[in-house]
Amino acid sequence: MNVARSFNNWRKFRQTVTELSRMSSRELQDLGIDRADIRSVARASVAR
């Protein structure tokens, strides 16, 4: 994996974590995401 792709993946991960962290517990619940699962959901978004 090259440096640019690694950086873009890291940025996408951080953006996803930030956006999900700003949501209320109710909004996360509506999406079927537990607050403790935010990092794993973000990792999965990078893996796609």
pLDDT tens-digit readout, 3-20: 999 999 999 999 999 999
pLDDT of 11 reads 97
d(CA 10, CA 31): 23
What is the number of structural domains in the chain? 1
Give the N- to C-terminal CA distance of the chain in Å, as an integer: 14
**Tens digit of pLDDT for each residue in 20-46?**
999 999 999 999 999 999 999 999 999
Picking from 22, 12, 1, the residue whose alpha carbon sits closest to that of residue 48 is: 12
Residue 1 clears pLDDT 90, i.e. is over it: no
* Confidence class for position 48, pLDDT limits 50, 70, 90: confident
Query: Can you give the residue range of the structural domain that contains 19?
Result: 3-47
Place of tokens 């607050």: 35
Both tokens of 25, joined, read 């517990």
